[in-house]
C-alpha cells in the first residue's frame, strides 16, 4: 500500500515537533503545573453546592418564603427513631433511651432535644415506637461531626430496643467514600492496554498521561467552582469521564505512533504523523464531547450548568495532555515503545493481527450480503432494549433506597411502621399572610381531607406575622408515583378550590424533587435536539457527508435509548439490581438521564469519527463502498474494541462505590458504550452503509468524492491497527 503523507507543516505538526524536541521542558512544565494546580485546587477549591432549589416552581417559591420569614428553620435536622419491643416505658428500655437522648444533647453540634417522654405526639398509641427531631446548630455541619452521633446511636441498640438516626446529614455521614473503584478501573484499563499492545511501556503511556490530566483537571474544576458551583457527585463523575476519554485518546495516538515506527519512520516523524492524524481526530472528538456537555446549559438548572462546565474542563485538559504531554513521552521512549514485551509476543502478534483483520473483514462481508436483514434485526434488538424507557420515572435517592445495614434505612423503617411511609416525605405548605389572625383552617381542612393525605398539622405563623406554614404527610412514600400524583392533584385541584388556597405553595424536599423531575422531563427533549443539531453540523464538516452524519445521529440515539431502557429495567424494575449493587428497586435519579446523554452522544461520535474517517479514506482510494467499509472495519476493529473495553471497564467500576446515583450513571454509560461498540459498529453501520451505497457520500452542491491512489492528507483518521 502506498505510504501515507499527512501534513507536516501545520500547527499540530509544529506543536508535535516542539513537544518532542523540548520534551524535558514540556514534561517539567506539566509536572510543576499539575503540582501547583493540585495544591491550590485541592487545598483551597470551592466546596460543592448541593442546593438544587431556586427557579419559579411551587417548591422554589415555598422555599423562598420559608428562608425569608422562618430563619429559625434553616438549620439541618436529624431524626431519632426508637423502637422498643416491650414499649418505651419499660424500665430497661427507658434507661437506654434517656441515656442516648442525654448523649445527643451534650454534643456541640446539636441544639435542644425534645424527649418523647415529654411530648405524647412523638409516640405511637401502643408506645412501642417513638421519634424526636434533633436540630443541628449550623446549616452545614461537617459529616465528620455527625458520624460519631450516628455510630453512638446505632451501637446503643440491643436488648429489644432499636435506635437509629435519620436525615440528610446522617445519610451523608454514614456513606463511605468512593473507595478503590477508580483504582480498579485503572487496573482494568492497564490489563486491556497490555493485551492490546503487548508492552508495559506502551501500556503505561496512556495511563500516566490520563492520570496527570485528571489530577490537573479535577483541581481546576474545584477552582472553577467559585464561578460556577457544582454538586458533590461531580468529582466522581468527572473522574470516570476523564479516565475513560484520557486513556482512549492516548491509546489512539500511541497506536498510530507504533504503526509509523513499524512502517520505517523515525520516532520524531512518527510522533508528528501520530499527532497530525490521530491527534487531529482526538481534538475533534474531544471538542464534540465538550459541546455535547455544554448542552446541559439548556436545562436551565444552575447546578447542572456547573456539572457541564466542570466535566468539560476535565475533557479539555485530557485533550491538551494528549497533544502536548504524550508527544514528550514519545520523545523519551523512541524505539523503546515496545520494550518489556510479553514473551514471544512478536512471533505470534502478526499472525494474530492478520487473523483479527480477516475475522473483521469476513464479518463485514456477512452483514453486507444480507444488509436489510441485519439492519432490521439490529434495529429490533435496540428497540426492544429501549422499550422500558417509556416507563422511566425520575426521583432523588432517599433513606428508603439506601443499603439496609445503614442507620438511615433503619430509621426510615421504624418511622414508616409507626407513623406511616409518608412521614419521610412531608409536604410543607407556605403562604404570605396579612396578619396573625389569618384563617388557614379551610385550606388545612381541604388538604387534610384529600385522598392520599394521612394528616395535616396546625399552621405556624412567622414572628413577623407575614407568612405561615403547615405540613401534611402523604400515605405513600418518597419514591412512590402516587406521591407525585398527589402533589399535582393538590396544586391543580385542591388548593385552587379551597377558600384562601390561592397563593399557597406546596414545597419541601419531596415536592422539590417532584418539581425537578418534571422540569427535567420537559426540558430533556430540547437538550437532546440542541446536542444532536450541533453535533450534526460538526460531523458534516468533518466527513463531508449529510447522509453519514444523519446515520450517526440516528444510531447514537438508538444506542442511548437502549441504554436508558436497560437502566430502567435494572434500577427501576429491579432486574438483576441486587446483583449489581442496588439495594432495592428505585426510580432513576433525576440528573442521570440528562447528564449521561451528552456524554454518551459525544463518546459515540468519537467512535464514529475514528471509523468513518478510515472508511472514507478507503472509499476515496478505491471508489467502492463495500470494500471501503470492510477495510475500514478491519483496520479500526482492534483500537475501537480496546477503547470501548476501557470505557466499559472504567464506567462499570462505579458499581463498586456506595453512591446509588453514581452507580446508575456508570451503569448507563457502560451499557451504551458496549451497545455502540457491538450492535452499532459491527452490525448497523456496515448494514446501513451497504444499503445506502453511493448515497452515503451525498453532500449538497458537491460532486462525488474523487477516487485517488493515495489517501488525501487532509482526511482526519484514527489510529491504525
Write out the DSSP string of 251-263: HHHHHHHHHHHHT
> 333 by DSSP, 3-state: which?
helix
Give Cα 1 to chain centroid, integer Å. Answer: 43
Question: Residue holding cell 508535535?
Answer: 16
Burial of residue 74 (number of CB atoms within 10 Å: 0-12, 13-18, 19+): exposed
Using 50 as the pLDDT threshold, list the residues of the chain that sit under it: 1-4, 344-357, 707-721
pLDDT in tens, 521-537: 888 898 889 888 888 88
Give the helix ranges, DSSP H, for 295-344. 302-333
Give Cα 234 to chain centroid, integer Å. Answer: 8
> 82 by DSSP, 3-state: which?
strand
Burial of residue 296 (number of CB atoms within 10 Å: 0-12, 13-18, 19+): buried
Question: For the chain, how far is it from start to end, CA to CA, in angstroms?
Answer: 15
> 453 by DSSP, 3-state: which?
strand
User: Which residues lie closer than 8 Å to 717 by C-beta, 6 or more apart?
Assistant: 277, 278, 281, 610, 613, 614, 617, 711
Distance, in Å, from the CA atom of 431 to the CA atom of 444, rounded to the nearest integer, reads: 12
Please give the pLDDT value at position 710: 39
| Residues across the chain | 721
Among candidate residues 256, 252, 312, 258, the one with its CA nearest the CA of residue 282: 252
Grid cell for residue 194: 497490555
Helix 660-675 × helix 591-622 angle, to 10°: 20
Whether the model pTM is above 0.75:
yes
Question: Residue holding cell 524505539?
Answer: 335
Q: Which domains does the chain have, with CATH numbers?
A: 1-44+198-342 (1.20.1640.10), 76-174 (3.30.70.1320), 348-391+544-721 (1.20.1640), 411-514 (3.30.70)
Please give the pLDDT value at position 707: 45
- Positive or negative: CA dihedral 653, 656, 661, 667: positive
Please give the pLDDT value at position 1: 34
E strand or H helix that includes residue 81: strand 77-84
Give Cα 387 to chain centroid, integer Å. Answer: 22
Burial of residue 263 (number of CB atoms within 10 Å: 0-12, 13-18, 19+): middle
E strand or H helix that includes residue 165: strand 161-166
- Residue 503 has φ and ψ, to the nearest 5°, of 85, 5
- 433 and 467 Cβ atoms separated by less than 8 Å: yes
DSSP state of 493: I
Amino acid at each position: 500500500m502506498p505510504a501515507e503523507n499527512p501534513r507536516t507543516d501545520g500547527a499540530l505538526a509544529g506543536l508535535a515537533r516542539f513537544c518532542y524536541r523540548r520534551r524535558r521542558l514540556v514534561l517539567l512544565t506539566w509536572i510543576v503545573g499539575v503540582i501547583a494546580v493540585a495544591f491550590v485546587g485541592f487545598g483551597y477549591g470551592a466546596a460543592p453546592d448541593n442546593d438544587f432549589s431556586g427557579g419559579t416552581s411551587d417548591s422554589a417559591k415555598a422555599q423562598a418564603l420559608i428562608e425569608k420569614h422562618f430563619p429559625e428553620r434553616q438549620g439541618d435536622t436529624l431524626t431519632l427513631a426508637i423502637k422498643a419491643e416491650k414499649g418505651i416505658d419499660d424500665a430497661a428500655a427507658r434507661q437506654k433511651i434517656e441515656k442516648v437522648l442525654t448523649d445527643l444533647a451534650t454534643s456541640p453540634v446539636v441544639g435542644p432535644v425534645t424527649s418523647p417522654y415529654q411530648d405524647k405526639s412523638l409516640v405511637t398509641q401502643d408506645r412501642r415506637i417513638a421519634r424526636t427531631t434533633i436540630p443541628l446548630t449550623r446549616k452545614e455541619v461537617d459529616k465528620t461531626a455527625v458520624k460519631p452521633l450516628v455510630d453512638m446511636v446505632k451501637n446503643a441498640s440491643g436488648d429489644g430496643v432499636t435506635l437509629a438516626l435519620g436525615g440528610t446529614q446522617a445519610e451523608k455521614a454514614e456513606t463511605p467514600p468512593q473507595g478503590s473503584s477508580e483504582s480498579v478501573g485503572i487496573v482494568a484499563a492497564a490489563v486491556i492496554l497490555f493485551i492490546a499492545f503487548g508492552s508495559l511501556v506502551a501500556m503505561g503511556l496512556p495511563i500516566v498521561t490520563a492520570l496527570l490530566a485528571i489530577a490537573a483537571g479535577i483541581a481546576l474544576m474545584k477552582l472553577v467552582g467559585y464561578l460556577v458551583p457544582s454538586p458533590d457527585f461531580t468529582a466522581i463523575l468527572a473522574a470516570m469521564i476523564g479516565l475513560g476519554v484520557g486513556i482512549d485518546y492516548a491509546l489512539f495516538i500511541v497506536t498510530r505512533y507504533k504503526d509509523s515506527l513499524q512502517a520505517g519512520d523515525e520516532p520524531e516523524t512518527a510522533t508528528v504523523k501520530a499527532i497530525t492524524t490521530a491527534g487531529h481526530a482526538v481534538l475533534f472528538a474531544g471538542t464534540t464531547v465538550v459541546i455535547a456537555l455544554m448542552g446541559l446549559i439548556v436545562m436551565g438548572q444552575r447546578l447542572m450548568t456547573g456539572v457541564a462546565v466542570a466535566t468539560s474542563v476535565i475533557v479539555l485538559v485530557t485533550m491538551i495532555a494528549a497533544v502536548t504531554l504524550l508527544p514528550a513521552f514519545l520523545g523519551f521512549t523512541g524505539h523503546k515503545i515496545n520494550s518489556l514485551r510479553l514473551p514471544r509476543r512478536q512471533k505470534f502478534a502478526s499472525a494474530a493481527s492478520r487473523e483479527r483483520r480477516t475475522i473483521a473483514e469476513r464479518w463485514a462481508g456477512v452483514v453486507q450480503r444480507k444488509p436489510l436483514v441485519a439492519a432490521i434485526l439490529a434495529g429490533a434488538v435496540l428497540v426492544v432494549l429501549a422499550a422500558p424507557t417509556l416507563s422511566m420515572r425520575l426521583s432523588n435517592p432517599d433513606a428508603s433506597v439506601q443499603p439496609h445495614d445503614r442507620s438511615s434505612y433503619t430509621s426510615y423503617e421504624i418511622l414508616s411502621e409507626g407513623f406511616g411511609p409518608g412521614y419521610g416525605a412531608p409536604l410543607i405548605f407556605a403562604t404570605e399572610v396579612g396578619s396573625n389572625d389569618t384563617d388557614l383552617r379551610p385550606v388545612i381542612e381541604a388538604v387534610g381531607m384529600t385522598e392520599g393525605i394521612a394528616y395535616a398539622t396546625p399552621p405556624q405563623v412567622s414572628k413577623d406575622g407575614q407568612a405561615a406554614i403547615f405540613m401534611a404527610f402523604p400515605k405513600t412514600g418518597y419514591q412512590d408515583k402516587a406521591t407525585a400524583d398527589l402533589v399535582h392533584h393538590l396544586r391543580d385541584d385542591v388548593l385552587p378550590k379551597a377558600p384562601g388556597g390561592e397563593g399557597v405553595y406546596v414545597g419541601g424536599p419531596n415536592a422539590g424533587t417532584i418539581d425537578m423531575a418534571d422540569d427535567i422531563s420537559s426540558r430533556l427533549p430540547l437538550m437532546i435536539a440542541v446536542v444532536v443539531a450541533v453535533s450534526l453540523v460538526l460531523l458534516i464538516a468533518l466527513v463531508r457527508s449529510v447522509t453519514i452524519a444523519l446515520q450517526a445521529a440516528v444510531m447514537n440515539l438508538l444506542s442511548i435509548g437502549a441504554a436508558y431502557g436497560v437502566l430502567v429495567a435494572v434500577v427501576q424494575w429491579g432486574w438483576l439490581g441486587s446483583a449489581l449493587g442496588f439495594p432495592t428497586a428505585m426510580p432513576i435519579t433525576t440528573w442521570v438521564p440528562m447528564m449521561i446523554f451528552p456524554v454518551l452522544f459525544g463518546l459515540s461520535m468519537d467512535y464514529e469519527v475514528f471509523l468513518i474517517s478510515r472508511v472514507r479514506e478507503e472509499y476515496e482510494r478505491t471508489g467502492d463502498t463495500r470494500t471501503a467499509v470492510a477495510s475500514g472495519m478491519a483496520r479500526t476493529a482492534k483500537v475501537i474494541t480496546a477503547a470501548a473495553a476501557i470505557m466499559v471497564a472504567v464506567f462499570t467500576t462505579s458499581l463498586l462505590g456506595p453512591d446509588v446515583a453514581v452507580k446508575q450513571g456508570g451503569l448507563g454509560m457502560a451499557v451504551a458504550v458496549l451497545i455502540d461498540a457491538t450492535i452499532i459498529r459491527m452490525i448497523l453501520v456496515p448494514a446501513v452503509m451497504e444499503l445506502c451505497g453511493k448515497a452515503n457520500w451525498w453532500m449538497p452542491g458537491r460532486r462525488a468524492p474523487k477516487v485517488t491512489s493515495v489517501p488525501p492528507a487532509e482526511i482526519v483518521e484514527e489510529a491504525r491497527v
